[in-house]
Structure 1
């Protein structure tokens, strides 16, 4: 994973993904979430800037030990850096996870077969029958290589009861981050929340703990929360769109979106959109990006001038140092993505701008063509202060705008009927 100190922000979509996987788990077809299933809520840490990602604390092993995992709806596999032994690991917040032989997943396991097929189409063979080897490369050039293991995850349910469940994840003994090799990382690994059967929420559905629904709320002030399960989210207050089949991979996509700036069309053809919490910033394909930059710059006053800032490619300085986006957002207009059935997502200035430590304001929408993307990615910066819902049970995506700041936001959402 790319740490926040790198100039290249997190962009954790798997490189060259395989064909779409089934959204339901592959093993034990008789196992399904029961009517008594409940929800799991995690408090998040992190931010868009300067941390570069949001992460949850997961208690793994027996005895359980805490690990920080970067939440990523753009990929399926959860993995921890581990001592198996480690060939190339970053400096992480906690001691490396150390597996035992009894925890290693054999090649014949159905989740292994699914994972291998997603990496190389029609590949269902392991180099060793005794273990399931994986290698995932992400679009920011980071990668993880290791073996699948199964171990206990301690979970606190919404009704305050605690359960421990054996879940499958990656034991990553070889991590490469960009071109820098072993570096300090803010997290111990990655929490894969994608649509595939190996994702954590799919495994919890299979074991009858929760339904295959997740939601996250990322605060502009840092932190937020992550929810698994459908009994915590009210459907009546959200803006919903059908979950489309992505042509670029097994991603969460609302389909193609038409881009508007200040409610005026930008004149570019509709482009596929992907929701990816593993991406720090939002990425637009070449034409939408150029059109967006031109529209934004055309509307700026002469009090703002371009300036070089190491944080992001396009930044401006004002007549005084900016302390927050609220100091400058009146200079900028909202973007809109229009989806099917006239459903729109507003991207307000605070959802595409950051203020750096140098007091400049920078555009948090990046040129996706640099990463060879031909689709648009909605990243953390655009999902801030919105409850974003991924409902795999009903095949739809939703969002509700509101504060995501800490425990008070959960109470607020309860009181206003957004949570049941």
Structure 2
């Protein structure tokens, strides 16, 4: 039986006009100050086959991690990872970019932003804004009642943790970009900044000094495709297509929609890559130059490079902000047997996201008594930009109860924001924590690395890195904390996604 759920999509609508005589300045003002209109759409359905069967305990599983307290905090210096187990034999990926944490010592921005690093509470508040933005796009009906949703504009929050460096323009210049599977449009800041550009590490890109830059015209079909990628209708000025995107925390980028040469490596160069050349930008982007969109829309990087990479990309997120991971496109050779695949689903309410069929959770080697229908009601996406995994309220309360029982020998302390299961590890050299695994269609396990279990404020306040949604119909989100050190492989062509242990340090 096909896996379905009933829902209502509340899609952001911009008041930006497509009038070709509208000035860019008016469009800027319109995009920033006008509220959104929302529209309802019909019930949506997932692609996919039969849900997985009821899971039993794994007798072969080692049920706990023993971790050093010193490993809970990042080192003050960068430690580069060389482990890449996605493919049999290291470094077999066609194109591999180094991934670093935006706020860690491996980032070239770290020296500038030391005084402005967000507090753990701020990180969680920003994360909640992103989650609310995503969930507002899936205002599901549960038992006949509608979920309450915020009225944010634009797409999901563009303030992810992880960044890569790519080349843009001719001659090529390198820019550090946040990569985000929850966004489609790639954009960077561009000169001249009409009103405002935030501070970034590299010099702002000047399209007039690139021999390969060109604007996309208002009447081009590519211009009209912006609406599905940004949630806002495109504008037009002097026959040039103008985009506007505003995120859940009111961060935004507005500018020209153009084409440019994108260089990932010396042998991976893409001419006429469609991207946003931001003339007015502000928000929580750190010192990065913009955002790299890895969603499923036809203007995303994945779609635009499909002919070369076949819709296949993978990443490994580092275990701490002081270590590195990778983002890879395509592959050579055979994928490691360590990686297990589950179907990658599509929800017609918002096909840009990557959907999974979560069916069960285990704690300490035992499957929790949670009906698979609990996860089917909400649906689940995997997202590189959300930090903390969000679960249906019933699933989270069951997880929390089991985890607390197995951690009863450690003193609990007060919560941090949305995290309500926190411990004081002061005085301990090591701690023993139960392993957690998520199970997807076909019984495919995703064993969470020890680094993905806790969110650490300090040793005296270490919290379980999961949270419950407020409504059973709110979309569940697999966050990046739980993806740390895993090989995560997106195979769009074959409609599958894979997980493997020990991808990076």
What SS does structure 1 have at the residue aligned with 2:166? strand
How has the CA–CA distance of structure 1 residues 120 and 319 changed in structure 2, closer, same or farther, with 3 Å as cutoff? closer
Separation (CA, whole Å) in 1 of partners of 2:181 and 2:97? 15
Instruction: Give CA deviations for 1:147-181 in whole Å, capped at 9, x if unaligned.
Output: 21211122326xxx46453311112233343xxxx
What SS does structure 2 have at the residue aligned with 1:209? helix
Question: Is 1:343 aligned with 2:449?
Answer: no
How has the CA–CA distance of structure 1 residues 249 and 138 changed in structure 2, closer, same or farther, with 3 Å as cutoff? farther
Among residues 463, 466, 474, which one is paired with 1:365 in the alignment? 466
How has the CA–CA distance of structure 1 residues 287 and 237 changed in structure 2, closer, same or farther, with 3 Å as cutoff? same
Separation (CA, whole Å) in 1 of partners of 2:470 and 2:279? 31
Equivalence for 1:380: 480
Equivalence for 2:497: 397
Shift of 1:212: 1.4
Separation (CA, whole Å) in 1 of partners of 2:225 and 2:176? 26
Equivalence for 2:359: 257
Equivalence for 1:54: 162
Shift of 1:69: 0.8
Equivalence for 1:210: 309
Separation (CA, whole Å) in 2 of partners of 1:40 and 1:91? 29
Question: Is 1:41 aligned with 2:149?
Answer: no
Shift of 1:341: 1.9
Question: Is 1:299 aligned with 2:399?
Answer: no
Q: Contact conserved, 1:17 with 1:248, CA < 8 A, in 2?
A: no
Separation (CA, whole Å) in 1 of partners of 2:103 and 2:193? 33
Q: Contact conserved, 1:112 with 1:148, CA < 8 A, in 2?
A: yes
Q: Contact conserved, 2:177 with 2:288, CA < 8 A, in 1?
A: yes
Write out aligned runs for 1:151-230 (5 A).
Answer: 151-156=260-265, 161=267, 163=269, 165-177=271-283, 185-205=286-306, 208-221=307-320, 222-230=323-331
Shift of 1:387: 0.8
Q: Contact conserved, 2:184 with 2:295, CA < 8 A, in 1?
A: yes
Q: Contact conserved, 1:260 with 1:266, CA < 8 A, in 2?
A: no
Q: Contact conserved, 1:317 with 1:361, CA < 8 A, in 2?
A: yes
Equivalence for 2:224: 113
Separation (CA, whole Å) in 1 of partners of 2:428 and 2:349? 38
Runs of 5+ consecutive residues of structure 2 not aligned to the other structure: 1-8, 14-40, 45-92, 105-116, 119-159
Equivalence for 1:354: 455
How has the CA–CA distance of structure 1 residues 172 and 291 changed in structure 2, closer, same or farther, with 3 Å as cutoff? farther
How has the CA–CA distance of structure 1 residues 308 and 337 changed in structure 2, closer, same or farther, with 3 Å as cutoff? closer
Instruction: Give CA deviations for 1:283-325 in whole Å, capped at 9, x if unaligned.
Output: 2244433333333233322432213558x744634352678xx
Separation (CA, whole Å) in 2 of partners of 1:127 and 1:362? 48
Instruction: Give CA deviations for 1:194-251 in whole Å, capped at 9, x if unaligned.
Output: 111111121122xx43221100011214211111114266164421111111365221
Shift of 1:361: 1.2
Equivalence for 1:414: none
* Runs of 4+ in structure 1 over 6 Å off: 17-20, 47-52
Shift of 1:184: 7.0
What SS does structure 2 have at the residue aligned with 1:132? strand
Among residues 378, 386, 390, which one is paired with 1:283 in the alignment? 390
Query: Which segment drifts farther, 218-227 or 294-303?
Result: 294-303
Query: Which segment drifts farther, 243-252 or 42-51?
Result: 42-51
Question: Is 1:87 aligned with 2:195?
Answer: yes
Question: Is 1:147 aligned with 2:247?
Answer: no
Equivalence for 2:370: 267
TM-score, scaled relative to structure 1 = 0.73
Q: Contact conserved, 1:84 with 1:99, CA < 8 A, in 2?
A: no
What SS does structure 1 have at the residue aligned with 2:451? helix
Q: How many residues align?
A: 356
Instruction: Give CA deviations for 1:96-135 in whole Å, capped at 9, x if unaligned.
Output: 22334962221233332222244459x6x64447222223
Separation (CA, whole Å) in 2 of partners of 1:104 and 1:84? 15
What SS does structure 2 have at the residue aligned with 1:293? helix
Shift of 1:377: 1.4
Shift of 1:369: 4.0
TM-score, scaled relative to structure 2 = 0.62
Question: Is 1:75 aligned with 2:130?
Answer: no
Max Rg structure: 2
Q: Contact conserved, 1:43 with 1:56, CA < 8 A, in 2?
A: yes
Separation (CA, whole Å) in 2 of partners of 1:299 and 1:358? 19
What SS does structure 2 have at the residue aligned with 1:356? strand
Shift of 1:386: 0.8
Runs of 5+ consecutive residues of structure 1 not aligned to the other structure: 1-13, 21-37, 178-182, 406-420
Instruction: Give CA deviations for 1:41-72 in whole Å, capped at 9, x if unaligned.
Output: 11111178788611110111122221111111
How has the CA–CA distance of structure 1 residues 348 and 227 changed in structure 2, closer, same or farther, with 3 Å as cutoff? closer
